[in-house]
């Protein structure tokens, strides 16, 4: 039987000058997390490995979800995704996406579909 993908819990909110997305990913190693960002959305995906005890059937109760996950979060108008920054601290991934004020013209060189895969995690 193939395991279904699960969706991690997410908090998203506006701060002055940026949009913050926090994704709850306890037990997921940094190299198992993929972050992709476009002009209008952020996708976090990856896989939380099953602990050895759960893999061998030595468990009394299982409430945590393991396996592949994916979560898509819409970005607000004015988001500047190619300047996004991400940090993984204590099992919480925090992505900050700068947002320009309405009416501010973005630089013409702004790339579309910036991708954060492979960037260095910050502690």
| Cα separation, 117 vs 7, whole angstroms | 19
Contacts of 80 (CB under 8 A, 6+ apart): 97, 98, 99, 100, 106, 110
Residue appearing with tokens 């506006």: 14
Residue 52 confidence (pLDDT): 74
Residue 11 confidence (pLDDT): 97
Could you give the 3-state DSSP secondary structure of residue 32?
Answer: helix
* Boundaries of every domain in the chain: 10-55+62-98
Each residue's pLDDT tens digit, 29-77 = 999 999 999 889 999 999 998 877 655 666 677 777 889 999 999 999 9
* pLDDT over 70 (residue 98): yes
pTM of the prediction? 0.75
Residue 107 confidence (pLDDT): 46
Q: What percent of the chain has pLDDT over 70?
A: 74
Residue 23 confidence (pLDDT): 98
Domain topology for 10-55+62-98 = Immunoglobulin-like (2.60.40)
Residue 64 confidence (pLDDT): 79
Residue 35: burial class (beta carbons within 10 Å; 0-12, 13-18, 19+): buried
Residue 118 confidence (pLDDT): 40
Task: List Cα–Cα distances, 48 to 13, 29, 41, in angstroms.
Answer: 25, 8, 22
* pLDDT over 80 (residue 3): no
């Amino acid at each position: 039987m193939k395991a279904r993908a699960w969706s991690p819990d997410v908090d998203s909110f506006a701060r002055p000058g940026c949009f913050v997305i926090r994704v709850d990913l306890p037990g997921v190693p940094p190299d198992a997390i993929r972050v992709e960002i476009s002009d209008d959305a952020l996708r976090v995906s990856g896989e939380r490995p099953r602990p050895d005890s759960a893999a061998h059937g030595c468990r009394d109760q299982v409430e945590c979800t393991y396996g592949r996950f994916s979560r898509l979060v819409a970005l607000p108008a004015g988001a500047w995704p190619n300047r996004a920054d991400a940090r993984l601290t204590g099992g919480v991934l925090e992505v900050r996406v700068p947002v320009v004020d309405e009416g501010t013209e973005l630089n013409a060189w702004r790339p579309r579909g910036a991708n954060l895969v492979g960037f260095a995690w910050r502690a």
